[in-house]
Amino acid sequence: MTAKVLTVAGSDVSGGAGLEADLKMFDEYGAFGTAAVTCIVTFDPNDGFAHVLEFIEPEVVTRQLESTMAVHEFTAIKSGMLGSVDSALVLAEKLKTNDLPYVFDPVLVCKGAGTMVDLKDLFVENLVPLATVITPNLEEAATLAGIDPIDSVEGMVEAAKIIHGQGAKNVVVKGGARLAGDDAIDILFDGETVTTLRSRKVNNKLVNGAGCSFASSIAAGIATGLDIKDAVVSAKDKVAHGIANCLDNATGVASLYHPAARVSPSPEVSVTVD
């Protein structure tokens, strides 16, 4: 049976991040994807491409979730930028009505957009306990765990353990470009074992969409039969190729190229796991 995956996320009209990224990643796995939109991100070309966020009314988010969940039996659900407290609560209620694998990308900020409403407590109370996999970056991990800014793998592991204690079954902390050093390092904690994933940083560019695409790849990987660890490794590989082949644009933050692992793989990309 073809896997069906739902993303609950914002729209990034520039195409690298958000639900646009998610749907492209779902395609890479042969999964059928659809999206419930929570907010729309546009950019002001006359103001340095400053982000402008428009939140979708929670009733409309609710209607989208009710419609699509009545139409389809999903195999997995992923969430990204939720925009408002009310939309996050609506999602939490819907998730409680089933036990689908849920990949939670706890987006608190978005590159270039500053902090959104303070969603931290809401996330910890309502969505972290429902997550099959949660994928915070360094900032999100430190915020959710309530610890100092993270600048080391040890700090990533500390945060992962705290977030696991808050109820997430698997925690992936993304070191990405922000962690100093030649490697992009992510760690996975499943409650027992810490797995470290490394790939060489392939360029120094700022790339939009890596976080969204990583989480949606994990969701599609799980939905199409990979175990959690293999889904995380596959996601890292796809994102690393997407970064290596990123597309420049007028904003100065390049767009991740989602099909790169399939259509233009880079010989310098490889992921090691230990």
> Which residues from 210-229 bind ligand PXL, rule CB under 6 A?
211-212
Q: Is 174 exposed, middle or buried (0-12, 13-18, 19+ CB in 10 A)?
A: buried
Burial of 196 (0-12, 13-18, 19+ CB in 10 A): middle
CA atoms within 13 A on the CB side of 40: 5
254 binds ligand PXL (CB under 6 A): no
Instruction: Determine, following the binding rule CB under 6 A, whether residue 153 of this chain makes contact with ligand PXL.
Output: no
Per CB under 6 A, the list member of 3, 5, 18, 61 interacting with ligand PXL is 18
Find residue 199's DSSP bridge partners.
184, 271
In this chain, which of 108, 110, 159, 256 binds ligand PXL, going by CB under 6 A? 110
Q: Are 265 and 241 in contact (CB under 8 A)?
A: yes
Residue closer to ligand PXL by CB (options 173, 226) is 173
In 3D space, the residue among 113, 108, 43 whose CA is nearest the CA of residue 82 turns out to be 108
Residue 265's nearest CA partner among 249, 233, 242, 246 is 242
12, 158, 186, 237: which one binds ligand PXL (CB under 6 A):
12
| Least spacing, CB of residue 15 vs ligand PXL, in Å | 10
> CB of residue 194 vs ligand PXL: minimum separation in angstroms?
25
DSSP state for residue 127 in the 8-state scheme: I
Rg (CA), the chain: 17
Give the contact letters, 68-97, x = binds to ligand PXL (CB under 6 A), - = no: ------------xx----------------
Min dist CB 238 to ligand PXL, Å, is: 16
Q: Is 208 in the site for ligand PXL (CB under 6 A)?
A: yes
In this chain, which of 3, 5, 6, 17 binds ligand PXL, going by CB under 6 A? 17
Per CB under 6 A, residues contacting ligand PXL are: 9-12, 17-18, 41, 80-81, 107, 110-111, 208, 211-212
